[in-house]
Amino acid sequence: MNLRRILRPGLALLLSLQLMLSSSLTALAAPEWPSDTGIMADIGIVIDADSGAVLFGQGIHNQSPPASITKLLTALVVVENSSLDDMVTFSHDAVYNVESGSGNKKNIEEGDVLSVRDCLYLLLLQSSNQAANALAEHVAGSRDAFVEMMNEKVSELGCVDDTHFANPSGLNDDTQHVSAYDMALIAKAAFDNQQVYEIASTKSYKLPATINNPNGVTCTNEHRLIITEDETSELYYPAAKAGKTGYTSLAGNTLVTCAEEDGRCLISVILKGQPSPNYFLDGKNLLQFGFERFQNLSVPDNETRYVTGEESVAVNGTEYSPSDLEIEAGTVITIPKDASFQDAALELVTVLPDSHPDRAVALLQYTYNDRKIGQAYLLLKESAVPASSESTGTGEAESSSPDSGGSEAPGESGAGFSLPAPTLPAVAVSLLVLAAALIGAYTVYSRKKEAEDLRRRRERRMQRLREENYTEEEFFQLLNERKRLASEHGQSLSSAGRSGRRKKKASSEKHIEDVSKDFDSEEEQGPL
């Protein structure tokens, strides 16, 4: 049988399917991730505070001194470990043991007593280094002990770039450095704390009487994007709600800004910024870029693969009915404005972090062109009971993903078992399976047809032999003679037959030669 002849139609079909699939992939390719911010600073980042997605990053894992944006972490640690009504006494060391030239805003003096709340306003609005020192001593007993708490918090928040703090104020220290990515995580945690957010978003605050300010003194926010009310100013940006400025000789200008618009919250970080107003404009440009070029989509409103349908789903050895599962409320993914929810790739993670909710079954992690864009827990409803269980779900990670995915922002661990989902790669596999089935069917058909043709040729041969009064024995005697001649002279059966005909009588030989042609064809094609 001619294998090439059989496979040719199948190969043509495969080529057609490949072209169709390639065209489909091109037509359905997800839009590119925007990146045209044009910031002037060496280092900058903007993240979506709700999804955690990094919308833009430039040098985001490079280490740099943070300057006074450090005070956001200081405020967070203080609020989590003290009461706002606690009273703080300023020690000599807190007031005077500071870097030369760093100043003393609002003329705080040794022996001044302010509440933790007052100190936090002085810390975040006026960037007082004395307030940072006094709060550290109040919470931890010493600055060194407080710094340990700061670095423990950094680790707890999932910072990944060897970020390290050496003091609570952000003053110069060779061992103090942070990345834009880690600082964005710190800022998000700080602004997630309602008390820190409220203080960092306040434009002004009146302190009570102090030794050098017997009538009290007003602290004013130094973040120009927050306080500018002139609509004609290039620094006017009403979406900016909270933040912190910073500057030292080593750090240059640093800036953290939290902005809210249309129900979304973004955070930008600038390190090694250009002189004012440029670093403020960089922060503003990053935030505008994030709002204008991206959208948030609700995971519970769009994800149906695990919570709908009649067939049970298996997660880490346990069977669940989709009606018994729900997706964590309030969760979103962030994608370009011209993209859709289906453009996001999904991985289901079954090895969960220690902080997972009690009813968590798995974690849905979404990516877009290898960028993390959000996540949501898959939860067992409170009234639901698993259909069956083969394991406790605490063993080794099982991992697969219905779509390809990756990570822009590191720090999240765990691989996952993925429930079935209709995706484009699955369509490709289906097409290839269909092509293979068609080729197989065509091969079977071709073989049957060849067998039928051979049977008919043999019947015709026997009929013609009977018509000429020859037996099969006589026919095969002549055929064997031709094979012998072919072997001796290196000829084909047909050529040997022509040589043999010149040596034999014509009349009878012609009939047998005609009949033998069918057999020549059978021999050359090989056995069925």
Question: Sign (positive/negative) of CA torsion 300, 301, 303, 304?
Answer: positive
- How far is residue 120's CA from residue 131's CA, in Å, rounded to a whole number? 7
Nearest-10 crossing angle of helices 3-27, 424-467 = 160
For residue 67, the 8-state DSSP code is G
Active-site annotation, residues: 68, 71, 127
Q: Quick one: which of 230, 219, 259, 78 has its CA closest to 153?
A: 78
CA dihedral 436, 438, 440, 444 (to 10 degrees): 180
The residues, any chain, with a CB within 8 Å of residue 439's CB and separated by 6 or more, are: 7, 9, 10, 13, 14
Long-range CB contact pairs, 34-40, < 8 A, 24+: 34/289, 34/293, 34/294, 34/336, 36/289, 37/285, 37/286, 37/289, 38/285, 39/270, 39/282, 39/285, 39/286, 40/273, 40/274, 40/278, 40/279, 40/281, 40/282
Question: Sign (positive/negative) of CA torsion 413, 414, 420, 423?
Answer: positive
What is the largest distance, in Å, between two alpha-carbon atoms of the chain?
A: 141
Other C-beta atoms closer than 10 Å to the C-beta of 352 total: 19
In 2-25, which positions are buried (b, 16+ CB within 10 angstroms) versus exposed (e)?
eeeebeeebeebbeebeeeeeeee
Label residue 263 left, alpha or beta by phi (over 0 means left) and psi (-120 to 50 means alpha): left
Token pair belonging to 79: 């609020």
Amino acid at 7: L
Token pair belonging to 317: 């050895």
CA distances from 216 to 96, 112, 209, 367 (A): 21, 12, 4, 52
The residues, any chain, with a CB within 8 Å of residue 475's CB and separated by 6 or more, are: 461, 465, 512, 515, 516
- How far is residue 93's CA from residue 409's CA, in Å, rounded to a whole number? 40
| Residue 88 near residue 116, CB atoms below 8 Å | yes
Nearest-10 crossing angle of helices 424-467, 472-489 = 110
